[in-house]
Structure 1
Amino acid sequence: MRVLIIGFGNMGQTYASSFISSGFVSPSDILVLNRRDVEKKKRFSIDKSNFYTEFVQPVFDVDIIVLAVKPQDFLSLAHSIKPFMTEEHIVLSVMAGISIQAIQDNLNMNKVVRSMPNIPTQIGQGMTVFCASTNIDRKDLFIVQNLINTTGKSLYVDKEELINAATAVSGSGPAYVYYFMNAMVESAIELGFSKSEAEFLVGQTFSGAVQLQNRSNESHQDWIDKVSSKGGTTEAAIEVFNNLKVKKAIDFGVKSANYRAKELGK
């Protein structure tokens, strides 16, 4: 299996690194197409002759093409690569907002997988939601999912509109976590901890809480109840969160992100 990665920014590099480190794709079978010469290629074990800056036929002698360019660059890219596309190519898109139909129409091909990864893919702990065109059989879809899983975990959905929902939940989600962590760090500093102490406290608290949740069958509410005691400190904090309608604000924020994702896809 040969894979072409078009675009070698953060996501393109993440996929290249994950494919190689997992052993799922041989370094010699990974090609990279980036319009500007990429100095970063020195850090990868990909054959240097497999890095291209021009649209030429040998670049497209592959099975799977990963589109890792910015969404706003897609139309101009499609115009350039359309003559090289065949019915046998499978396209894996990591472009936000670009629909399967738009990719099919602009590239004049049918086999398309649209995905929404998030930033922890950079360390192999990502969450990617993906869907596929009806022209892809189970065997090809299984291969693509294995590629995606080199960057973390994945969830297949039948309805493409759920990709926008995934953008709002798991795609943007890490920023919500960092927002809450940052607020806790600032509070800890005001309580007397140094910045490094506060970051250590909050970081380990989040890490430990997530690992504990993942290793149990308890729900999030179950764990809230376990940590809270009647008239205790946790209950005092949760009561304030409820009075300030923090949960409602989070719900509104996620739904606003979903609405914006839909707007960007028009």
Structure 2
Amino acid sequence: MRKVYILGAGCMGGAILSGLRGKYGASHLRAVETSSSRSACLTACGFEVSERIESIDCNDIVVLAVPPQQFQIAVRDNQVLLSHEGPVISVMAGVTTKSLCRALGHARVIRSIPNTASEVREGITIYYAPENADSDLIAAAQMVFGAIGNYIKVDNECLIDSGTALAGGGPALIAYFANALQQYAENEGFDSEVAWKVCTQLLYGTSMLMKSTGKASMQLCKEVQTVGGTTECAIQVFERNDLNKTIALALTAAADQSVELGK
């Protein structure tokens, strides 16, 4: 199996490392991390770690997972990337395909946005490939993405910015809502551990119900409600405060920031 170099093992890079190890083992994974504390942690977890890529085979895969603001520095510190024409997969928010190709000197690149659920192989990755992408590049990307969950290819690169907001930031938005549920439970007198258990099961159970039945989210919402009932009363509060608009504004702000990062 070809080696996979993860350049930047922070939250997302670490999640990808864990996801790939879960399916393929760690022997073909190489973490590239400059933080001494992260390197020590990764080494303790059984990963091979180095500060930079010293040499690389032509078929090896590189995953760029550094913060977008550090991309140019990462290329400067890993000069081998400038002569490597194997598959390169970016998970950096905002960095466009054009910028990737210009910095690396070739077009065998994939721009993608996975999310942190990749750590437990339940992620969703939205990716874009240039029109002239060869089958090996696509296969390499899908091998990585398939090891960390599901993936969806888009034909319009602009959708990656929206995907960054929706899929990339989605776990944080859902966790934020879950925290509100948990805070309510604790304020009402539930033990914090019980509140956490109820909230996590709500998220898990509802997600499984949607996936197993194929029902639309609002269909499930309406099925829980009865006229004049408690749930309908709660949903009416959401509607009076235009929760849909608030969520749309938050996602739009995140998508706009993705565009800004790419400038």
| Fold shared by both chains (TM-score > 0.5) | yes
Q: CA deviation at 1:6?
A: 1.7
Deviation per CA, 1:168-214, whole angstroms, max 9, x where unpaired?
A: 11111111111211212222233332322222222212221111111
SS at match of 1:128: strand
Q: In structure 2, what is the equivalent of residue 5 of structure 1?
A: 6
Q: Which amino acid aligns with 2:257?
A: R
Distance 1:229 1:41 in 2: 51
Q: Between Structure 1 and Structure 2, whose CA radius of gyration is higher? A: 1
Q: 5+ unaligned residues in a row in structure 1: which ranges? A: none
Instruction: Show structure 2 runs of 5+ residues with no match.
Output: none
Q: SS of the residue aligned with 2:111? A: strand
The two structures have a TM-score, normalised by structure 2, of 0.89
Aligned counterpart, 2:29: 30
Paired-residue identity, % = 29
Corresponding residue SS for 1:259: helix
Q: How far apart are residue 90 of structure 1 and its match? A: 1.3
- What pairs with 1:118-133 in structure 2 (closer than 5 Å)? 118-133=115-130
Q: Give the number of aligned pairs.
A: 260
Trace 1:1-266 onto structure 2 (pairs within 5 A). 1-23=2-24, 27-36=26-35, 38-46=39-47, 48=48, 51-56=49-54, 58-59=55-56, 62-82=59-79, 84-86=81-83, 88-266=85-263
Larger deviation, residues 7-16 vs 215-224: 7-16
Stretch moving more, 255-264 or 156-165: 255-264
SS in 2 for 1:212: helix
Aligned-residue Cα RMSD (Å) equals: 2.1
Asked whether the 8 Å contact 1:2–1:30 carries over to 2, the reply is: yes
TM-score for both structures, normalised by structure 1: 0.88
CA 1:259 to 1:190, structure 2 compared with 1: closer, same or farther past 3 Å? same
Which residue identity lines up with residue 135 of structure 2 in the other structure? R
Measure, in 2, the Cα distance between the counterparts of 1:45 and 1:258: 36
Deviation (angstroms), 1:54: 4.3
What secondary structure, in the 3-state scheme, does the structure 1 residue paired with 2:94 have? coil
**In 1, distance between residues paired with 2:56 and 2:85?**
15
Tell me the secondary structure at the aligned position of residue 194 of structure 2.
Answer: helix
Residue 53 of structure 1 aligns to which amino acid in structure 2?
E
